[in-house]
Structure 1
Amino acid sequence: MLAHEDEPFFAPNLFLHWALYKAAKEQNVRVILDGIDGDITVSHGIGILQELAGSGQWMALAREILGLSRRFQRSPWRILETHILRPLVPKSVRRVRRMIRSKRTPAAALAPLLSRDFARRIGWTQIQESSRRGQVQLPRTAKQDHYRGLTQGLIPYSLEVADHAAMAFSIEPRYPFFDKRLAEYCLALPTEQKIFHGWTRMVMRRGMANILPEKVQWRGGKADLSQNFFRSLLTSEGKVIEEMIRNPAAAIWEYVDQEALRRTYHRAVLSGDRDGALVLWQASVLGSWLQQWDSSSKVAHSGAGQQHSGCSPNGPSTLAAIGV
């Protein structure tokens, strides 16, 4: 995958798209309709909770929280804390809390796996502080929340990653949920069409009547794709990570703290720490990409030396073939 993505990527479930494109190629399929991130376009409507709280509509707020709790099997108090209480904490309080945290930990602790030298070289503390200052104000209405979701950088990034994977199999992916007209239509819908009595993406559910089975149409959550990811990471990918950790000369140690990664690995293996497993996956992708880049650089330098000495059998075309 790295050869086709051409950079380290953050898409833990890309293996599903990869397998899908491979199967499509074998069946001579040329175009695939992909529903990726359709829930962002349609909107879960969760932003209404802050809007109702801000306008003092407590009965309506309680109705939606209790509805969400029933549909998605989550504690109403957890929903209240996550979507209402935390965002309402004054900026001054959040700023003091961040200052206290930053005094307790060194710069590298903001991203525990970064090597101290690398964190210092790139000015990690300053980067984090600049990022916090640049954070936009929290949306106050459901429509503002919906708009922010539609305009975030995650969407084009996800499409770029998926496109690169599809190109590996000569597949053309198309994304109907990102049709500009559909996005504008969904953004303009009244909030009741996005969330109603705890049912999120309401307009989509209603639109699928007599098309989807009711059990699917009115389901609360969706499939948990994490099990295959974690199993693969700690089995087949685990070998790659082990070899990387045991190699003191691996290129990744210029950027990542070796001992911190080793502790994260053992914690993920022994206790099934899922957050740690995701970090391990990121480190594995970075380490593999650096190794691949280092190998291609050595080939390029070797080819350049042969060309200079007159020993290259193919001359400049050899270097062009490897992208130099």
Structure 2
Amino acid sequence: MEICEHKIAVAWNGLPAYGAHLVKAARIRLGYDFPVVGTRPDVPIEGMEHILGGGLYWVEENCRHSWAELGLEVPRLFVHTGWRYPHFVSLADEVRAAGGKVVGMFDNSWKGNVRQWVGAVYFRLFLRHKFSAAWVPGLSGRKLARRIGVHSQRIHEGLYGANPNVFQCKVPICERPKKILFVGRLIDRKGIVELLSAFEVLRTEHPDWQLEVIGNGPHAELLQGREGVNVKPFCQPDRIAIAMNEARVLALPSHEEHWGLVVHEAALCGCALLLTQAVGAGADLVRSQNGICVAKTSVEQLKQGLEHVYAWAPEQWTQASELSVDLAQDFGPVRWADEMSEFVRKFLKVE
């Protein structure tokens, strides 16, 4: 596939390391290093330029920019993270004015609350015409895109995905200790307090199970000194992958979670999954054979979820691990490159 330079550009707010790997896969597939515009992530990642191998342009948040300021020609196809960031909206405006196509990355999921219904009306009236396609993580994002008025044929899935070179199933699940793993910020929204309470309720009856927590946040002190609970500060992806291969279950009991990349990371590592229905990735990565999505973040619901997996026989654990890995194959760099190739075929008429 031969593409002239400056026909494609991607912009990502808070460009994460996994995003750089996704972009790199698309660059390799398409055969040229299209430019990437990004704002820096909250947690600095060393070597971002090394991952991409050049063509990375950092910009300041909340400041309007032009392609000329970046020293770039206006692309014919621009893929960027949504409509809320003025530093990318101005670039998208230039692309449309020049007759180009804009693809929006939308990572939220449909909740059906008043704010989203109002937002859906606003999007249909003022924003829908600005996007030629919507790129969403999975099924929950597709539902959102349809609700706000995007035609089903213009919705593409596979927006997010972990790096499979880092996250791999290396230890058979039945050889791992009986351990529940939580990875994320230690804040109310993530449901860590409810998870801790549910775990402790079952501790007497199931003393062979442990809870490992990796993350930073205001609830870190609450977790310290608890029997059967091990707390570690946030660490880099390679260390998280090791922790996932030392756990049987990844728990993400969030009150709200757009998709949850950590779920895909854990699935690649062969973990069973315990989520709430608020976690968008559950629709794509959880089936009855490899985990459970409880209705809400409550101690009682999470207790029932833990009891469900605690009762599994060895063959059920093996089946769960194999299914998690299998479902995880639908997301990641290969899928991302596939979707970018489809945008090029559809909007640039390049086969």
Same fold (TM over 0.5): no
Q: Which has the higher contact order (CA 8 A, sep 6+)?
A: 1
Give TM-score, length-normalised by structure 1: 0.23
More helix per residue: 1
Give TM-score, length-normalised by structure 2: 0.21
Bigger Rg, which one = 1
